């Protein structure tokens, strides 16, 4: 799978935000802090 490079500052900001959320979520899991899946799904309108 090839990925295209980030082309705009908006995409860069979005990617940075996503990475920060993933890092925090991973650290929360390691620390034993879990949230209900419904909360996660609601945040992303899933």
The pLDDT, as a whole number, for residue 2 is 62
The pLDDT, as a whole number, for residue 40 is 81
- The secondary structure of the chain as a DSSP string is ---PPP-SHHHHHHHHHHHHHHHHHHHHHHTT----HHHHHHHTT-
Give the pLDDT confidence of 1-46 residue by residue, as tens digits. 567 776 888 888 988 998 998 899 899 999 999 888 888 888 878 7
The pLDDT, as a whole number, for residue 19 is 93
pTM: 0.60
């Amino acid at each position: 799978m090839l990925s295209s490079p980030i082309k705009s500052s908006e995409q860069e900001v979005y990617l940075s935000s996503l990475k920060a959320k993933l890092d925090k979520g991973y650290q929360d899991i390691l620390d034993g802090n879990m949230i209900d899946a419904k909360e996660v799904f609601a945040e992303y309108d899933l």
